[in-house]
Amino acid sequence: MEISASGDMVNLPNMVTVFRIRSVPVFIHLLICDRFGYAFAVFFTAVVSDGPAGWITRISNRQSRSGMYLAPLADKVLLISAFMTLSILRHVPIGLTTIVSGLHYIWRGTQAIRTEPAVR
């Protein structure tokens, strides 16, 4: 698979990923305001939109350099912000947040070591 460096940012999967990252402050605000139903809807939309974005990237065979970094960043930001906010609000134990955060970084780190992409 060839990775494009030009026209990097402006494609549908990257726009979806940017939407996912930009939804995090809205999600956190809704949690703080005790609007858990709306917060869940925002979180669910952000999480579920990752699948179609990845599918579009694969079928169009247009993986971009920015997408390689933005998609995993969006995953981390969503997961860690959800756990941290819920811990601060005392809905999730801080120990669980620490474990989940640590395991997420360990998992992603081992993936990065095993599958280093060939960027042109």
pLDDT digits (tens, 9 = 90+) for 49-67: 988 888 888 888 878 888 8
Question: How many structural domains compose the chain?
Answer: 1
Q: What is the mean pLDDT of the chain?
A: 84
Residue 119 resides in a domain: no
Average pLDDT over residues 84-99: 94
- Strand, helix or coil for residue 120: coil
pTM across the whole model: 0.76
User: Which of 111, 85, 69, 74 shows the shortest CA–CA distance to 32?
Assistant: 85
Calpha distance 91→108 (Å, rounded): 26
How many whole angstroms separate alpha carbon 83 and alpha carbon 72? Answer: 17
In a domain, 105, yes or no: yes
Residue span of the structural domain in which 11 resides: 3-114
Residue 120 lies in a domain: no
The verdict on residue 91 lying in a domain is yes
